[in-house]
Amino acid sequence: MMMGLLTKSLSVSLIALFLSLLPLLQIKAHARDTTSSLNVASNETDFRALLAFKSTILPEYRQALSSWNESLHFCHWEGVKCGRRHERVTVIDLASRGLIGSLSPYIGNLSFLRELSLFNNTLTGEIPAELGNLFRLQKLNLGINGFEGKIPPHLSRCSNLRDLRVGRNKLVGGFPKELAYSMPRLISLYVNDNNLTGGIPQWIGNLSSLEDFNAAGNPLEGSIPNALGQLKNLRALWLGSSQISGTIPPSLYNQSLLITLSVPANRIGGSLPPTFGFKFPHLQLLQLQHNQFDGPIPLSISNCSQLVQLELDHNNFNSVENDLGVVVLENGQFRGVLPDSVGNLSISYLALGLNQLYGSIPSTIGNLVNIGTLAMNNNQFTGPIPDSIGHLHKLQRLEGAIPSSLGNCRNLLLLTLSGNNLNGSIPRKLFTVSSLSITLDLARNLLSRSLPPEVGNLNNLVEIDISENGLSGEIPSTLGRCVSLEYLYLGKNFFEGSIPSSISSLRGIQNLDLSNKNLSSQIPRFLETFILLQNLNLSFNNFEGELPMKGIFTNATAISIVGNYGLCGGISELRLRRCTTEKSRKRMSLLQTRGITVALVAIAVALEVIGVITKDSFSKVTYGELLKATKGFSSRNLLGFGSFGCVYKGIIDQNGKLVVVVKVFDLQTRGATRSFVAECEALRNV
């Protein structure tokens, strides 16, 4: 009985305890429900922001966004990553996805976003100021697009940014002063290849964490600011082709961690201090070429033991010491055979380009085991490069001629063999050198056969120039994998077929030369979307059909299409014939099949001028001869058409080839006879 009373008392106590805790449990449950509803609302915000982003991409270029629909949670959409806890968007990575359109301002609603990479697409318009709402953002990469306007000052709100890249766009204005004190964590700043002006601001020294600064390729003007010396972590400085003048400020020589110092193609002068090499013990790339430096090249550069690329040409340096480990004899008039004794030199840089050296390259060249740069371009070397060059494992830059053993040079960054007499095929092993990232220049040689498909392995390469050779076959589709290409020169060879569709991936292309070939088919429409393309040469091919009318095709001075007689349409400045519509094709067919009168109303000389043609010099021409001359009045020979008939180009073989203009009158059209008589009278008067 006592046990029963105890049990009953315990049950009553537990019930009382539960009733006392019930309000607290209800509060917690309500809090859970509230948090859940907030998460749902927040997720809905991200969902709507992503759909808004998709809506500003042109529908025909949304292939990469095919998974962006309600059948799949947005955290599993292509290029999207979410945090595990709240399922909020933290990463959008859609680099090189072929997107064309603009960037939606609703991207600023993704408040948990840490990384946004839209690198290498074709996005235009202004960079939305709403990006400044992303206070958690650490990485922003909008490089290689077509963004216009200014760098948004609202980015100063993104105080957690570590990597900001907006290079290779169409941005204007200067550096926003709002960034001066707001980005203490910024490590990389890339604003290269835009249209920024106003110089490099002194406040750049406030970005205390900055390690990599690239402002090359802008019309900045001004000088290198002394404030760069405040960046104690600076490792790479890129300021080439920026219209900078003055001298290198003394404070910059305190940057002992520098790995890259690149300031070529400016107006920088003065002399280098004797202690230059001791200031930069970690330097690997030094580019001072095409400036106004003078005085001697300091011997202390030999202390830069990690230096792999040194470019000092086109300055006013007045002396070079052999003890330096550098021999520069470029742009001279040196003539003769390269002696075997060249292999006895203890050097890291040998430049013999633009001279008159001839004969074969000695096998002793393979003894230069410490050499990083070997320049022998634009000479008259003959025969193969010796296989011993494969012993140069430190070689990163070669300018001069081709053996398959070059495939052993795994550090090669640049290969320039232009302007020699190299023959044979391009060795496939050459394209296994994945380190090639600057230039492959084989132009103006006697190379033959096809371009190996292995060229697609060079996906970091910026420039390929194999123009003016005897290469044939089709352009390999694997070129589309070379997504870093900015300059592609394939002109004056014998390539045939069509332009491969894979070339559409090369959205960073600035100069494209496909001239003097046997290329045919239509000019692909994707070339209209290359917003960075500045020069396009398609001349002397067999392209036909309607010429595109967007993008670079709106600028008659930026394209060359001469020698493609099958093209029509295009902008008026190009003066191409009008394209034949279905209606006009039916009309021409009718003209050729019903009763017509054919008259030769004008004759012009194409190959040679034979003097003034008088009425007595006309020869009798049969209808059959005209039919043959115009290839059966082919639409490809059509020059134009009007109210009374069509005008064709033809070639008559009588006393040598003669180009003629043939007009076909439709006599069933009222007034055609009078028009014919009037034109004959006009010719008589001429």
* Residues 491/467, Cβ–Cβ less than 8 Å: yes
First-last CA distance in the chain: 139
* Residues 669/588, Cβ–Cβ less than 8 Å: no
pLDDT: which is higher, 475 or 685: 475
> Element (H or E) spanning 38, and its range?
helix 2-55
Given this model, what pLDDT does residue 612 score?
35
Using a pLDDT cut of 70, give the percent of the chain over it. 73
Given this model, what pLDDT does residue 675 score?
63
Identify which of 195, 194, 203 has the alpha carbon closest to the alpha carbon of residue 176.
203
Given this model, what pLDDT does residue 606 score?
32
Average pLDDT of the residues in 495-511: 92
Given this model, what pLDDT does residue 615 score?
41
Pull the structure tokens for residue 370: 């410490």
Given this model, what pLDDT does residue 668 score?
52
> Which region holds residue 514: left if phi is over 0, alpha if psi is between -120 and 50, else beta?
alpha
Given this model, what pLDDT does residue 330 score?
54
Structure confidence by residue, pLDDT tens digits, 368-427:
777 777 777 667 766 666 777 777 767 655 555 566 666 777 777 888 777 766 777 888
Question: Residue 104 CA to chain centroid, in angstroms?
Answer: 25
Average pLDDT of the residues in 54-66: 95
Pull the structure tokens for residue 67: 């998974």
The beta-carbon contacts of 265-269 under 8 Å, at least 24 apart in sequence, are 265/240, 265/241, 265/289, 265/290, 265/291, 266/239, 266/240, 266/241, 266/242, 266/290, 266/291, 267/243, 267/291, 267/292, 268/224, 268/244, 268/292, 268/293, 269/245, 269/293, 269/294
Given this model, what pLDDT does residue 38 score?
42
Three-state SS for 295-349 is EECCHHHHHCCCCCEEECCCCEEEECCHHHCEEECCCCCCEEECCHHHHHCCCCE
Structure confidence by residue, pLDDT tens digits, 242-279:
999 999 999 999 999 999 999 999 999 999 999 998 99
Pull the structure tokens for residue 467: 């123009």
DSSP codes of every residue in 128-177: PGGGGG-TT--EEE--SSEEESBPPGGGGG-TT--EEE--SS--EE---G
- Model confidence at 336, pLDDT cuts 50, 70, 90, reads low
Given this model, what pLDDT does residue 62 score?
94
* Residues 151/166, Cβ–Cβ less than 8 Å: yes
Average pLDDT of the residues in 487-515: 93
* Residues 68/92, Cβ–Cβ less than 8 Å: no
* Residues 376/401, Cβ–Cβ less than 8 Å: yes
Report how far apart, in Å, the C-alpha atoms of 380 and of each of 281, 329, 336, 351, 464 are.
38, 16, 10, 15, 22
Report how far apart, in Å, the C-alpha atoms of 293 and of each of 297, 324, 674 are.
9, 18, 76
Given this model, what pLDDT does residue 648 score?
75
Given this model, what pLDDT does residue 445 score?
84
Coil vs helix vs strand at 684: helix
Report how far apart, in Å, the C-alpha atoms of 218 and of each of 263, 423, 511 are.
12, 40, 18
Identify which of 149, 185, 183, 184 has the alpha carbon closest to the alpha carbon of residue 166.
149
Report how far apart, in Å, the C-alpha atoms of 438 and of each of 11, 205, 459 are.
83, 30, 11
Side by side, the strands of the sheet bearing 542-547 are 423-424, 446-450, 470-474, 494-497, 518-521, 542-547, 566-569
Q: Is the pLDDT of residue 312 over 80?
A: no
Structure confidence by residue, pLDDT tens digits, 89-118:
999 999 999 999 999 999 999 999 999 999
* Residues 548/571, Cβ–Cβ less than 8 Å: no
Query: Which residues partner with 214 through β-bridges?
Result: 190, 238
Given this model, what pLDDT does residue 666 score?
58
Q: What are the E-state strand segments in 352-475? A: 356-359, 373-375, 380-381, 397-399, 414-416, 423-424, 439-441, 446-450, 463-465, 470-474
Q: Is the pLDDT of residue 6 over 90?
A: no
Question: Residue 592 CA to chain centroid, in angstroms?
Answer: 48
pLDDT: which is higher, 191 or 372: 191
pLDDT: which is higher, 588 or 309: 309
Q: Is the pLDDT of residue 59 over 80?
A: yes
Q: CA-CA distance, 358 to 342, in Å (whole number)? A: 15
Q: CA-CA distance, 463 to 57, in Å (whole number)? A: 30
- Model confidence at 360, pLDDT cuts 50, 70, 90, reads confident
Q: Is the pLDDT of residue 441 over 70?
A: yes
Given this model, what pLDDT does residue 8 score?
44
Structure confidence by residue, pLDDT tens digits, 39-48:
555 689 999 9
pLDDT: which is higher, 210 or 404: 210
B/e letters for 557-583, b = 16+ CB within 10 Å, e = fewer, are eebbbeebeebbbbeeeeebbeebeee
What is the residue-averaged pLDDT of the chain?
Answer: 80
Q: Is the pLDDT of residue 13 over 60?
A: no
Amino acid at 424: G
* Residues 406/427, Cβ–Cβ less than 8 Å: yes
Q: Is the pLDDT of residue 609 over 50?
A: no
Structure confidence by residue, pLDDT tens digits, 119-144:
999 999 999 999 999 999 999 999 99
Structure confidence by residue, pLDDT tens digits, 154-170:
999 999 999 999 999 99
Given this model, what pLDDT does residue 321 score?
46
Report how far apart, in Å, the C-alpha atoms of 257 and of each of 212, 227, 272, 356 are.
11, 16, 18, 40
- Model confidence at 1, pLDDT cuts 50, 70, 90, reads very low
Coil vs helix vs strand at 88: coil
- Model confidence at 15, pLDDT cuts 50, 70, 90, reads very low
Report how far apart, in Å, the C-alpha atoms of 642 and of each of 168, 458, 570, 600, 672 are.
47, 52, 19, 17, 11
pLDDT: which is higher, 263 or 15: 263
Query: Which residues partner with 326 through β-bridges?
Result: 349
Number of neighbouring beta carbons within 10 Å of residue 275: 11
Using a pLDDT cut of 90, give the percent of the chain over it. 48
- Model confidence at 3, pLDDT cuts 50, 70, 90, reads very low
| Contact partners, residue 150, CB within 8 Å, separation at least 6 | 126, 171, 172, 173, 176
Q: Is the pLDDT of residue 439 over 50?
A: yes
DSSP codes of every residue in 493-521: SEEEE---GGGGG-TT-SEEE--SSEEEE
Average pLDDT of the residues in 514-526: 88
Given this model, what pLDDT does residue 660 score?
75
Q: Is the pLDDT of residue 71 over 50?
A: yes
Given this model, what pLDDT does residue 327 score?
53
